[in-house]
Amino acid sequence: MDQATFKVLLSIYTIYVIYQVVLPSKDPSLSRKEHSEKAVRMFRSLSVARRTIGISLSLTIYALAATGIAGMFFFWPPARWLFLSAVILTVFGQVRWPIQPMKTHTEVIRNEIELFLDGALVVLVFFSPVSQFFNQ
């Protein structure tokens, strides 16, 4: 795989992640007002410490992932390690601190697809010929 092909794959992945963040799914049985009220109630039901940890973890993951993806476009050597850290924190965060109180079936499926793509990207940058570009 050459650099151009890798950048195309990384661009497709980035578009998918942006699409998922910008256009979240909603429960079709709830109106927009009911959906936002339910989300606020669920968020307020969490303890202050859990909310703080969850928000901090989310911001850290977003920063690591954004830096890692941007760095991978330019084959910056630490970028793949930053992205791997974001993936590990995402998996750990989903297991330990599930702060997203409401997820529809569509959101769960989209999150699983994103996690699969994360894993595929990590394997690609560490164990394929693409890893040579990060070592130069």
pLDDT band at 78 (very low <50, low <70, confident <90, very high): very high
Considering 41-45, 81-85, 102-106, the range whose residues carry the highest mean pLDDT is 81-85
pTM of the full predicted structure? 0.78
Per domain, the residue ranges of the chain are: 3-135
Tokens of 94: 């989903």
Q: H helices of the chain, where?
A: 3-22, 32-45, 48-73, 79-96, 105-127, 131-135
Tokens of 6: 């890798």
